[in-house]
Amino acid sequence: MMQLDFDLSSLQEARDLLRKAKQAQAFFAEASQEEVDRVVAAMAEAGQANAEWLARMAVDETKIGVFEDKVFKNLFASRDVHSYIKGVKTVGIIAEDPEARVYQIAAPMGVVLGITPTTNPTSTVIYKCLISIKARNGIVIAPHPSAARCSYAAAEVLHEAAKRAGAPDGIIGCMTKPTMAATNELMRHDHTAIILATGGSAMVKAAYSAGKPAYGVGPGNVPVYIERSADIPQAVSDIMTSKTFDNGTICASEQSIIVDRVISDQVKAEMVKQGACFLNREETDLVSKALITRGGGVNPGLVGRSPAYIAEKCGISIPAGTRLIVAPLQGVGPEHPLSREKLSPVIGYYEEEDWHTACLRCIELLNLGGLGHSLVIHSQNEEVIMEFAEKKPVFRILVNTPSAHGAIGATTGLVPALTLGCGTWGNNSTSDNVSPLHLINRKRLAYNLKSSKPAPVNIPVKTSTGAEELTNEVIATVVRQVLAKMA
């Protein structure tokens, strides 16, 4: 009975939040660009001011990740995202073609449903709220049940800041009693205009199946290739920085290293020097069984945990201070579980003869669960870099940069975002880093340029006996005249 009462109250909460967001958004849709920007700036400032305690709350509640890295993500989601979007026009005419006399006018979509994960809870809430409000939408957050408290806290921080800056009450809402039934209700409710989903593959698939427009994120089984011309110490440093960041919870972090065999010994030595521990075959089997489930997913109890914690749970011994666990692998697929996405400071390691075979290995890994997402290459050879850019089935090819940071736009010129589309290759509706411009409708204002009346056609006639006989040649002449007038 208690569970039934909780489920019913959860459903009611979902409906109430949507109703309030719908009413608030109808009011906010009339806001000027100046008013919108003032609200968004206040929200970003609040996100920055509260970055640390929200990070602490996220780590304490979920037991996932690293406090300092959670702070970084909260600051990125508020400061860096706002720095990019603050100059983006989302009200009135946002694009024009004076020659064609076509003008694009922004219109908000309505209420956004933001589904957020347990791995990056507070930062994802901050990011989704900022881009939704910037586009004059309302938003309701459906958090992962394991991160409900910290997600709600982040949403409330932004909601209060938005209201102080002039936004209506209810423009941001967050479930306090998240259940699958309530999330399904949110996804299918008439008041929901669009779904912005971050989570496991099942949740993203459900979002796309809800009968609403949706942006989801596919899995990121990201390969990183160290080509023989690479700066090895820098490449290793970038990989270690990225893969250990927040204990590997960002979907864009590297999952497998592919190395030219001729430099493999140097790479291994540098990795050990920087804190990596290479497993033997028996240890690899133990970690595989503990970390990856029979269905190919990641054991939730080991997601975002430290190397020491993972080693203890797997029954292996690693040196004190180990930053990254490295598993040498010979193949890709179900027989090699660690060739999948791992969401932890564990990474696969492959040796290949040259960039040709490395290319094939990367494609194998992407086909296992990373199509459309990201790939990293460390190289000084522009020809090889372009081969990878042109041939790999991903939409973010990152060069000489940490993947987790580069893909989200922290160390590259990509749009700063925490929702990274994988395009049709990853069964997603966009291949972009999602921004406020993905959350607006575009009206087209188009002026007349040509007359709609058909031009007169001269039909040949005889001067003596009247109209000329309509032979095939005459008909062909008339057709040519009509087509010429229409060109």
Report CA dihedral (294, 296, 298, 301) to the nearest 10 degrees: -10
CA 249 to CA 343: how far, in whole Å? 5
Sign of torsion over alpha carbons 444, 448, 452, 456 = negative
CA 155 to CA 153: how far, in whole Å? 5
419-428 b/e with 16+ CB inside 10 Å = b? bbbbbebbeb
Q: Among 128, 179, 158, which Cα is nearest to 42's?
A: 158
Active-site residue, 422 included: no
Which residues on adjacent β-strands are paired with residue 174? 141
Contact 193, 111 (CB under 8 A): yes
Residues 6+ apart with CB under 8 A from 415: 84, 409, 432, 433, 435
Residues 6+ apart with CB under 8 A from 402: 238, 239, 241, 242, 245, 411
Q: What is the DSSP string of 255-318?
A: EEEEEEGGGHHHHHHHHHHTTEEE--HHHHHHHHHHHB-TTS-B-TTTTT--HHHHHHHHT---
Q: 121-134 vs 33-49: helix axis angle to the nearest 10?
A: 170
* Residue written as token pair 């880093």: 433
CA 348 to CA 341: how far, in whole Å? 10
DSSP state of 456: P
Which of 251, 359, 362, 422 is an active site residue? 251
Contact 177, 63 (CB under 8 A): no
Contact 368, 426 (CB under 8 A): no
Q: Among 223, 265, 470, 317, which Cα is nearest to 478's?
A: 470
Which are the catalytic amino acids? 251
